[in-house]
Amino acid sequence: MFLNKHGVLNDTIYLRNIFMIRGVSVNSSHDSMITVQGLTKEYGTQTALDTISFQVRKGEVFGFLGPNGAGKTTTIKAILGLIKYKQGAIALNGLDIVKQGKLAREVVGYLPERVAMYANLTAIQNLQFFSELKKVSEVDFDGLLVEYGLGDVGKKKIREFSKGMVQRLGMAQAILGSPKLLILDEPSGGLDPRGVRLIREKIRAVKKNGTTVFLSSHILSEVQAVCDRIGIIHKGRIVAEDSVSVLGKKLDLKPRITVQLESITPAIKDAIYAIKNLNTIEISGNTIEVVCNAEQKALVILAIAHAGGNIINLQTEEPSLEEVFIRYTED
Question: Least distance to other proteins from the beta carbon of 231, Å?
Answer: 20
Question: Least distance to other proteins from the beta carbon of 19, Å?
Answer: 22
Q: Packing angle between helix 266-273 and helix 294-306, nearest 10 degrees?
A: 150
- In the list 30, 86, 102, 194, the residue contacting other proteins (rule: CB under 8 A) is 102
- How far is the CA of 126 from the CAs of 45, 112, 122, 135, in angstroms? 39, 15, 6, 14
Residue with Cβ nearer other proteins (144 or 240)? 144
3-state secondary structure of 117: coil
Instruction: Pick the stretch among 29-37, 79-87, 258-266, 293-301 that binds other proteins (CB under 8 A).
Output: 79-87
Instruction: Pick the stretch among 100-108, 232-240, 256-264, 301-309 that binds other proteins (CB under 8 A).
Output: 100-108
40 binds other proteins (CB under 8 A): no
Instruction: Pick the stretch among 14-22, 88-96, 103-111, 198-206 that binds other proteins (CB under 8 A).
Output: 103-111
CA dihedral 45, 50, 51, 53 (to 10 degrees): -150
Residue with Cβ nearer other proteins (79 or 321)? 79
Whole-number Å distance between alpha carbons of 104 and 93: 7
Partnered with residue 316 across adjacent β-strands are 257
Cβ proximity of 61 and 226 under 8 Å? yes
Q: How far is CA 306 from the centre of its chain?
A: 45
DSSP letter for each residue of 200-226: HHHHHHHHHTT-EEEEE-S-HHHHHHH
Residue with Cβ nearer other proteins (2 or 129)? 129
146 binds other proteins (CB under 8 A): no
Q: Scanning residues 106 to 135, which ones bind other proteins (CB under 8 A)?
A: 106, 108, 110, 112, 114-121, 125, 129-130, 132-135
91 binds other proteins (CB under 8 A): no
Question: Least distance to other proteins from the beta carbon of 156, Å?
Answer: 15
- Number of C-beta neighbours around residue 167 at 10 A: 24
Question: Least distance to other proteins from the beta carbon of 105, Å?
Answer: 5
Whole-number Å distance between alpha carbons of 35 and 90: 6
# chain residues binding other proteins, by CB under 8 A: 33
- In the list 7, 59, 67, 101, the residue contacting other proteins (rule: CB under 8 A) is 101
Question: Least distance to other proteins from the beta carbon of 107, Å?
Answer: 9
Whole-number Å distance between alpha carbons of 115 and 195: 15
x/- binding map, residues 164-193, to other proteins, per CB under 8 A? Answer: ------x--x---------x----------
The DSSP bridge pattern shows strands 108-111 and 181-185 to be parallel
Instruction: Report CA torsion sign: 222, 224, 226, 229.
Output: positive
137 binds other proteins (CB under 8 A): yes
Residue with Cβ nearer other proteins (81 or 319)? 81
Whole-number Å distance between alpha carbons of 227 and 215: 8
| CA nearest neighbour of 299 among 265, 260, 257 | 257
Question: Least distance to other proteins from the beta carbon of 57, Å?
Answer: 21
Question: Least distance to other proteins from the beta carbon of 274, Å?
Answer: 60
Helices (H), 114-260: 123-133, 141-147, 163-175, 193-208, 220-226, 244-250
**Which chain residues interact with other proteins by CB under 8 A?**
77, 80-84, 101-103, 105-106, 108, 110, 112, 114-121, 125, 129-130, 132-135, 137, 170, 173, 183
